[in-house]
Amino acid sequence: MYHRGVLSILVFIGLTFNQTVNATISGKVSNKTGGAIKDATLTLVKDGATATTGTDGMYTLAPTDVKTLPALQPQNTGITLQNGLLNFNLPEAAPVKYEIFDVKGNLLEKKVLKKAQKGIYSFNVTENIRTTTLLIIRASIGSQEMAFNYLPLNGKNAVHSQNQFSTSVSAGLAKTTAVADTIKVTAAGYKEQAVAVASYDMEKNVTMEAAGSDVTPVISNLTIEKNPNSVISVYVNWTTDLATNSEVQFGEGGFAFSISDDSTVTKHRVLVIGMHAKTTYKIRAISGLTTADTSYTTGTLPNYIPEGSAVCSDGSVDGWTLVNILHGSSMGLPMSNNPAIAVMYDHEGKVVWYRVHGTVGDMGGCTSTEFYENGNTVVVGATDKEPPREYDLAGNELWKGPSPTSPNSYAITHHVNKMSNGHYLLVGWGPVEKLSNGRDSLTWANLREVTKDNTVVWEWHLKDFVTVPADANGDYFHANSATVFPERDEVYVDCRWIGLIKTTYNNPKLIYHIPASYHEATTSNDLCFSSSEDQISDVHDPEIHVDDSTIMFFDNGGYDANNLQSTKFHSRVVEYKIDEAGKKATLVWEFPGTINSDSYFKTSLYEPYWGDADRLSNGNVLFTSSTMGSGKISHLFEVTRAGKVVWDFSLPADNGMYRAQRISPPPLVRPVEK
């Protein structure tokens, strides 16, 4: 470990018990790669309370008689870094701040407490920043600032004190108290853990080590099995004479990446993803303390799956990016003779995972893709001929949805997602209403919630909430996404031409409408904007931020079916603060807007068909800029809130993308600890 700084001498006072309180202790139990451990048993040794983790690894302990202890109080102000613990010692209330960067200057972690109360605060760098490379840490208490260089050594620097404990204060930064109890954690295939805890409400995550990781079995029958769904993925198989864990390390010149399974078995089978096409990899199988090596050369990608390129700078959120790909036909239209493809690109723009979605050509390119960390699955939406499906990371089909041209003219289009209750949400266009003039029709929008066997258990209809002009006809609404929170009793439905509708989930009732300017449509509760310039024009895929009551849209900025490459329209990303009581949507961020950015964004940013914008973990925004046609280049941009481009991904001409999702860290794959 490398560090510099002044070590403070601390004096602790006031270690007396307070009153009995009600409390809950909650967190996640995971393996060393972050995977959830199901059915782990947690027991408070003194109190006797027990809990069992679910499929997501989460638990909640409810102690029955817990005494609250005061925080330890220092007499001197100081900042120290000792054995992976960043400590702040506050004899009185003061502002606290820390920032952690990698060697390239990328911000990995930041926390600010404007007025931390007196006490000792700690942040466990080793547990919270998963890396084996040098870190630069800047920390301050008020005007006192310190800087440290820290090099984790496979987690061996971390020290867990036996006579004090840190209670949660704010996302990893914790206030230290005297120990009150110990959680004993057990799970099949893992070593028992003992974790010290305090006597009041707190979060505590637990990382467990595989039980078979310290034995020396004999490895035999090491083979590589091709994945029939992908030329850049394989299964590595081997057997051992003892039941133990499974790990595969792989890399081009050395062993750079690792995929592990802590289940103790004698027949081992590990799915490997994250490889590049047409590349020879060294592959190492590991069980306990035994290793065996081989190699494998990946195949050539199908010609309709393009490699990309990326320019990355400091401040970008590292990870993989999931998109749908429409490989065009140089016609300048969003249509293809090739099927839709879900693709993950690494941060350098190389394909590291894909799944071809059926066999029929994709006409429209509006195929949603979404990754679900809790099950390591990808849901791909419907095309005009292919139903939606859910795949595991091996590409195996786990669910096949209804036909995209469902009964009652409820066509599935643009958006399908998996809900928190395990059901699937389908956005549809329909029913089609014949108008009184006998010539025209009006296509409404609907939502359906279906079970895994495609039984409809809930429906929502736009017609129940919106009033439109008498001459409205055709694709007047263009529903393109929905977000449903059954547990919050909230439904958000976006229609490109008329804006966003929010209703309740139970017995749907209108809450509000954020109107778009493109088509006229009204409800009984339209929100207003500060000015007409602030109003959305026509939008895609709003991202709902329940933590701060904001909503982010990709605003296409207009549409001309007769001139899809028009230069009179300009797209933008907008974020609004929603005041439901005051019936107002206030524009709080816009890109490019008045931000001093590259001229491209003010003169050439226009996406006629699709659009997506996501707020990332560090506040950056990832958005699409995609179009079709000979010579037309599709981009993904990641920008800071100040407008600096920190990641620019592009595809060869005439390849389009509807949406993008940053997955950080990547699924399954972790860097090898050196």
Q: How confident is the model at residue 156 (pLDDT cuts 50, 70, 90)?
A: very low
- pLDDT value of residue 25: 87
- Find the angle CA(430)-CA(625)-CA(391) to the nearest 5 degrees: 60
List residues bridging with 499 in a β-sheet: 495, 515
Q: How confident is the model at residue 82 (pLDDT cuts 50, 70, 90)?
A: confident
Phi-psi category of residue 562: left, alpha or beta, with phi > 0 → left and psi -120 to 50 → alpha: alpha
**DSSP string spanning 532-568?**
GGGS--SEEEEEEETTTTEEEEEE-----TT-TT-SS
Q: Which of 197, 249, 250, 265 is nearest to 43 (CA)?
A: 197
- pLDDT value of residue 415: 97
Q: What domains are there in the chain, each with its CATH number?
A: 20-207 (2.60.40.3080), 211-297 (2.60.40.10), 303-374+619-667 (no CATH)
Indicate the residue type of 244: T
Query: What's the average model confidence in pLDDT over 543-561?
Result: 93
Quick: pLDDT tens for 26-67. 899 988 777 889 999 999 988 889 999 998 899 999 887 655
pLDDT above 90 coverage of the chain, percent: 61
Q: Which of 69, 65, 55 is nearest to 17 (CA)?
A: 69
Alpha-carbon dihedral 400, 402, 404, 407, rounded to 10 degrees:
170
**DSSP string spanning 348-410?**
TS-EEEEEEE-SS--BS----EEEETTTTEEEE---SSSPPEEEETT--EEEE---SB-GGG-
Cα(246)–Cα(204) distance, rounded to whole angstroms?
A: 27
Quick: pLDDT tens for 608-650. 889 999 999 999 999 999 988 777 899 999 999 999 999 999 9
Q: How far is CA 434 from CA 52, 410, 474, in A?
A: 56, 15, 10
Output DSSP code: residue 602: H
Cα(615)–Cα(641) distance, rounded to whole angstroms?
A: 10
Indicate the residue type of 166: S
Cα(267)–Cα(235) distance, rounded to whole angstroms?
A: 13
- pLDDT value of residue 64: 77
Structural tokens at position 629 = 């046609």
Q: How far is CA 473 from CA 434, 436, 477, in A?
A: 9, 11, 9
List helix spans (H) across 38-136. 125-128
CB neighbour class for 435 (10 Å; exposed up to 12, middle 13-18, buried from 19): middle
- pLDDT value of residue 562: 67
Alpha-carbon dihedral 13, 16, 22, 28, rounded to 10 degrees:
50
pTM of the model: 0.78
- pLDDT value of residue 217: 95
| C-beta neighbour count of 476 within 10 angstroms | 21
Q: Is the pLDDT of residue 450 over 80?
A: yes
List helix spans (H) across 567-670. 599-603
Greater pLDDT, 11 or 599: 599
Cα(423)–Cα(334) distance, rounded to whole angstroms?
A: 30
581 contacts: CB under 8 Å, gap ≥ 6: none
Cα(499)–Cα(476) distance, rounded to whole angstroms?
A: 11
**In contact, 59 and 36? CB cutoff 8 Å:** no
List residues bridging with 238 in a β-sheet: 268
| C-beta neighbour count of 133 within 10 angstroms | 12
Per-chain mean pLDDT for the chain: 87
